[in-house]
Amino acid sequence: MSNPPRPTGTPPLLTARDLVKAHGRTEALRGASVDLAPGEILAVTGSSGSGKSTLLHCLAGIVRPDAGEVTYAGERLAGLPERRLSALRRTEFGVVFQFGQLIPELTAVDNVALPLLLGGIARPEARERAGEWLERFGAAGQAELRPGELSGGQAQRVALARALVTGPKVVFADEPTGALDSLATEQVMTALVRTARSRGVAVLLITHDARVAAYADREVRLADGAVAPLGVSA
């Protein structure tokens, strides 16, 4: 299936072409193709098992596709050494998972500071910058709490701050509101979109929720591991 058009005149920042990926005998992706433009918010929708998370993992360089090609800013991810991929994931890519995946032993501010510390930033500066991001997402009051003390909405705000603290060019958000109620979903999505717009960050948003997809500039739908016309069920 052809990929829905990206914004006119804007070259893609991230491109996937004809991706194939199997998990054992299960083929999760079957020739999926998609583009993401700089500053664009793109929703990838589809039912459970349609390949959405696998697509995100391939685009973020977390897993390598069995076939097809992913290109970021003119670089083929398959041709990059693991050291370069790790650097991309640490600095230019930010990832938000459905349940946050915060480190339970660390406070909220230390969870956010962690990518900076891994990048060689001194601890006092890393914690200061982390605190500023928690404040942007309305979570400054939870800075010294551990994940087990946070509500679902608070934990996702912390996860968003962690994904954005390094100043990435792309944020990959995998069902970031899947465990949240309607109010927390609205708050988290409003915070994400506002920050992405103000900083020109591209967002790849994986969701099964039409209300969440409505925050995006554009939507593509996966069905049986490939991009399908909107309205086609997986």
pLDDT tens, position by position, 17-46: 999 999 888 899 999 999 999 999 999 999
Cα atoms found within 13 Å of the Cα of residue 26, Cβ hemisphere only: 8
Neighbour order of strands in the sheet with 41-45: 93-96, 170-174, 202-206, 41-45, 218-223, 226-228
Give the residue extent of every domain in the chain.
38-50+82-219
Tell me the pLDDT of the chain averaged across its residues: 89
User: Which H helix or E strand runs over 44?
Assistant: strand 41-45
Pairing of strands 170-174, 202-206: parallel
CA–CA distance, 184 with 69 (Å, rounded to integer): 36
pLDDT tens, position by position, 65-89: 999 999 999 999 988 898 888 888 8
CA–CA distance, 234 with 232 (Å, rounded to integer): 7
Asked if residue 66 lies in contact with residue 20, where contact means CB atoms within 8 angstroms, the answer is yes
**Residue 112 CA: distances (Å) to CA of 42, 86, 135, 160, 168:** 24, 18, 12, 9, 14
CA–CA distance, 221 with 206 (Å, rounded to integer): 10
Fold designation for 38-50+82-219: Rossmann fold (3.40.50)
The whole-number pLDDT of residue 100 equals 67
Segments of the chain scoring below 50 in pLDDT: 1-7, 232-234
